[in-house]
Amino acid sequence: MSSRIASAALRVRTAPITLRAGPRSQQPTLLNRLYSSSADELPTPPPLLQKLKGDLKTAMRAKDANRLSVLRAIMAANLNASKTASPIKTDVQLVALMRKIAKGAEDAAAEARAAGRQDLVDKEAAQVAILAEYMQGSGVATLGEAELRALVDKVVGEVRAAGAEGRTLMGNVMKGLNTALEGKDVDRKSLAELVKKVTAS
């Protein structure tokens, strides 16, 4: 009898102990909160970029080589910009990016023409036309050379009338133009050159 009791006691001491997990806490972890916060802070892509992404899929299905090349170039340039301090956040910025790509295509066409490569000239011209199509359909206002000159003349006149001259004149003119041109597509380099020319006269 005593041996059976001792044996039973031994089994009790050596029996594995199973721990039951209680209900998981519903409190969000710090890591989850960080991920949630980061996701909430992601900027909304420009509407035009969303359209371009859809057109990229359509061009892939249609095997439209020229449009595919253009759209992939835009996406690559947008990705590169996203890694800098000036990511593309608006349609205006995206149109400026496309204008830069179009300028590169025009330069490439000129080089091809000089080399007697009409096939490359035609290819670059087709891509410039596609870029122009997107820029014109973007809804972003683009000022022509005459309109821009008239605006610069107007702002320079106003700033001079306020008594500004020299470096102050240039700075105040650019400040006034930035306000007037908000939401419009303008080649900033050409604008600065035009302002410098007008203020020097």
pLDDT tens column, 100-152: 999 999 999 999 999 999 999 999 999 999 999 999 999 888 887 888 899 99
> Cα 37 to chain center, whole Å?
21
Encoded tokens for 83:
């890694």
Please check the confidence at residue 83 and state whether its pLDDT lies above 80: yes
Q: How do residues 36-66 score in pLDDT, each as one tens digit?
A: 444 445 567 789 999 999 999 999 999 999 9
Mean pLDDT value across the chain: 83
Write down the pTM of the prediction: 0.67
Q: Tokens 């892939």 identify what position?
A: 60
Q: Is the dihedral of CA 92, 94, 96, 102 positive or negative?
A: negative
Q: Which pLDDT does position 84 carry in this prediction?
A: 93
Q: How do residues 176-186 score in pLDDT, each as one tens digit?
A: 988 888 888 88
Amino acid at 13: R
CA distance 56 to 99: 18
Residue 28 has phi, psi (to 5 degrees) of -65, 140
